[in-house]
Structure 1
Amino acid sequence: MRRSRDLITMGRIGVDLYPLQAGVPLAQVETFGKFLGGTATNVAVAAARLGLDAAVISRTGADPFGDYIHRALRDFGVDDRWVTPVPQYPTPVTFCEIFPPDDFPLWFYRQPKAPDLEIAADELDLDAVRAARIFWMTGTGLCAEPSRTATLTALEARAEAGTTVFDLDWRPMFWNGGPDEARPHYAAALPHVTVAVGNTEECAVATGEHRPRACAEALLAAGVELAVVKQGPKGVLAVHRDGTVAEVPPVPVEVVNGLGAGDAFGGSLCLGLREGWGLERTMRYANAAGAIVASRLACSSAMPTRAEVEELLRER
């Protein structure tokens, strides 16, 4: 009998090289830490830390960084069977600068092409995709072929099966034509998903709207059941098709590196969806998980356990 996983994510994977000195320009940094990275991957790690059975669909280079990624995924308890090598492209590397509380520039090294954009539709295990309780895909997966067609094929295969989450994941450096190029592809994906999640800039790319409530309403009109709009220091707005609304403030912490907070939020969102929690409880839990990661240096290795999230919620 086919195993039904709690979560399968599909999309970006790579190695994050983060400075071990904060407040220092990249040109002056002397030491770096090496971490597993990539939005879809970090969401799977975050969910696994919270006890979900998670797997990733992605591609690496056939190189030592690819070997590192497999070892790291297994160490985090994430199934790596659908992470395979693409010999002609190197595993992507991402650098950042750390200027707390809100400036964390990123440099993506994904040339001439990232292997995770080489996922082909005929390589997908569509039975596993259908069987997953939650399937998570990203906007980056729509930015190039064959990943775009593979992502849409996975969405079509899901049909009415389980919960399907579209992480809007807007990365302008991956799109030559900016929002105008991306919006039609986002529009093609939205009717196939049940949940859309993104910050206000990402929601604006998907919908053309800029105000949080207008973004949420536009996403609902596009066909989703739940729109989650992250508003940074203003917290998060979640609007369900049934009229339920949750607007939850952030959890205040001393920020060290805010880059992984959204991925921790995503993993916790999956937990709430899997457990059938109410909207406000899910948003408060996800905010707390994101705050914990923002108070730490890394992304993947900083993802909290349930005990850590619950302790922070009790304290606050």
Structure 2
Amino acid sequence: MDVVTLGETMVLFTPEHAGPMRYSDRFSSRVAGAESNVAIGLARLGVQAGWISRLGADEFGKKIRAFVRGEGVDTSRITIDETADTGLFFKEKLAPGEWRVKYYRKDSAASRMRPDDVDETYIADAKFLHITGITPALSESCYETVLNAIYYAKRNNVLVVFDPNLRRKLWQEARAREVLLELAGQADIVLPGIEEAEFLFGSGSTEQLARKFHAHGASVVVMKLGKQGAYYLDQDMEGYAAGFENPEVVDPVGAGDGFSAGFLSGLLDGLNLPDSVQRANAVGAMVTMAAGDVEGLPEKERLLEFMHNRGQGDVER
């Protein structure tokens, strides 16, 4: 296994028409979850990826498992919970560019993940453990599960990759800051957005905030800057990788997950840090061109074609 990740995935329902949901009688359904998005993105790029989670023994849990497995992700470490339901959420389009999301995930099967759901040998066989700040926000047992996964990774020399993925509605601000800083301090690679960096460390320039993550313990920091691209920093180099032109953004949701998948696939393919960040920018841009969390995630041939046609962008080193 190249990359192992863990977290909650839910079924997303979206009304066919814009406006308040109370007037909608037709909905489409999709599978959505940050960590499984990353795993699917990696699988499409030829990377062996595994996803650890807990699903309800219901039709939605069966749908998620079949979908993720069908995308080439290893789902052998999923736990089926006979006493809890799979989480759901609704995404309401109020107007062009204006969305409202409602979650039904309280006491979901995934929120009951516990440390013994994680198999040390499964982590030990990977090159990277990918975690986000969403999972520890779900419950105390999920927080302990993430810490246990990190412990196994560290004990087996597996690199820990952390995307803060701040979800303010899930927990109190003080607790969020405390836990996200704790996880950032244990990670080898941190992939924050600029707003997440400001949440954790206060105001500062992109370079200053990246150096704070570096001083906090991360060996590699890649700051996501949206359509402007990304800034990268490690002990040997720093610089900016420009974003890719994308005149039409259909749906920005999932772009950060695509970024993570593109970045890790670059490292696994032997690319250097700047070129891995360039690939991450390309995948992130491609995700925004399609509706849904995973629909825009490219296979490698399509990714390389996109990068060639749009130009590599500018990399300052």
Shift of residue 90 of structure 1?
1.6
Per-residue deviation at 1:225? 1.1
Match of 2:280 in 1: 286
Structure 1 residue 224 displacement after superposition = 0.6
Q: After superposing the two structures, state which structure 1 stretch, 199-208 or 283-292, moved more.
A: 199-208
Residue in 1 that maps onto 2:269: 275
Counterpart of 2:294? Answer: 300
What secondary structure sits across from 1:81 in the alignment? coil
What corresponds to 2:130 in structure 1? 136
Equivalent of residue 118 in structure 1, options 112, 136, 149:
112
Residue 106 of structure 1 is matched in structure 2 by 101
Q: Where do 1:140-151 residues align within 5 Å?
A: 140-143=134-137, 144-151=139-146
| Alignment coverage as a number of residue pairs | 308
Are residues 1:97 and 2:92 paired? yes
Aligned counterpart, 1:6 = 2
How far did residue 65 of structure 1 move?
0.0
Q: Which amino acid aligns with 2:308?
A: R
Picking from 182, 190, 195, the partner of 1:196 is: 190
Distance change >3 Å, CA 120–CA 222, structure 1 → 2:
same
1:257 to 251, 275, 290: 251
Aligned to 1:74: 69
Equivalent residue number for residue 312 of structure 1: 306
Q: Secondary structure at the match of 1:146?
A: helix
When normalised by structure 1's length, the TM-score is: 0.90
Q: CA deviation at 1:208?
A: 3.4
Change (3 A) 1:98 1:291: farther
> Deviations for 1:76-122, whole angstroms, at most 9, x for unmatched residues?
011111122223332111222347875443222212x2322222112
Answering whether residue 149 of structure 2 is matched by residue 154 of structure 1, we say yes
In the TM superposition, what is the alpha-carbon distance from 1:29 to its structure 2 partner? 4.2
For the pair 1:36 / 2:31, whether they are aligned, the reply is yes
User: How far does residue 290 in structure 1 lie from its aligned partner after superposition?
Assistant: 1.5
SS of equivalent residue, structure 2 residue 46: coil
Amino acid at match of 1:106: V
Q: Is the 8 A contact 2:229 2:240 kept in 1?
A: no
Give distance in 1, aligned partners of 2:218 and 2:170: 25
Shift in alpha-carbon separation, 1:100–1:46, aligned structure 2, 3 A:
farther
Q: Which secondary structure state, in structure 2, belongs to the residue aligned with residue 66 of structure 1?
A: helix
Structure 1: state its 5+ residue gaps. Answer: none
Distance in 1 between residues matched to 2:21 and 2:244, nearest whole Å = 29
Residue pair 1:201, 1:210 contacting (<8 A) in 2 also:
no
How far has the Cα of 1:235 moved from its partner?
2.1
Q: CA deviation at 1:174?
A: 0.7
Q: Is the alpha carbon distance of 1:174 and 1:54 closer, same or farther for their aligned partners in structure 2, counting shifts above 3 Å?
A: same
> Relative contact order (C-alpha < 8 Å, sep 6+): which is higher?
1
Q: Per the alignment, in what secondary structure is the counterpart of residue 296 of structure 1?
A: coil
Moved more, 142-151 or 236-245: 236-245
RMSD over aligned Cα, in angstroms? 2.0
Deviation, 1:254, is: 0.8
Contact 1:251 1:288 in 2 (8 A): no
Distance 1:290 1:24 in 2: 28
Greater Cα shift, 180-189 or 56-65 = 180-189
The equivalent of 1:163 in structure 2 is 159
Aligned counterpart, 2:239: 245
User: Are 1:182 and 2:172 counterparts?
Assistant: no
Compared CA separation, residues 297 and 119, structure 1 to 2 (3 A): same
Q: TM-score, normalised by structure 2?
A: 0.90
Offset at residue 308 of structure 1 (A)? 1.4
Could you report, residue by residue, the CA deviation over 1:219-257 in whole angstroms, capped at 9, with x for unpaired residues? 101111111111223222222232332332343241111
Report the AA paired with residue 201 of structure 2: T
Deviation readout 1:165-216 (Å, 9 max, x if unpaired):
11101011110x22x2112212222232111112122222333345422221
Which piece of structure 1 moves more, 279-288 or 262-271?
279-288
Q: In the TM superposition, what is the alpha-carbon distance from 1:133 to its structure 2 partner?
A: 0.8
Distance 1:73 1:238, change over 3 A: same
- Secondary structure of the equivalent of 2:241? strand
Conserved? CA contact 2:45–2:298, under 8 Å: yes
Shift of 1:9: 0.6
- Change in Cα spacing, 1:241 to 1:26, as seen in structure 2 (3 Å) is farther
The residue type equivalent to 2:170 in the other structure is: F
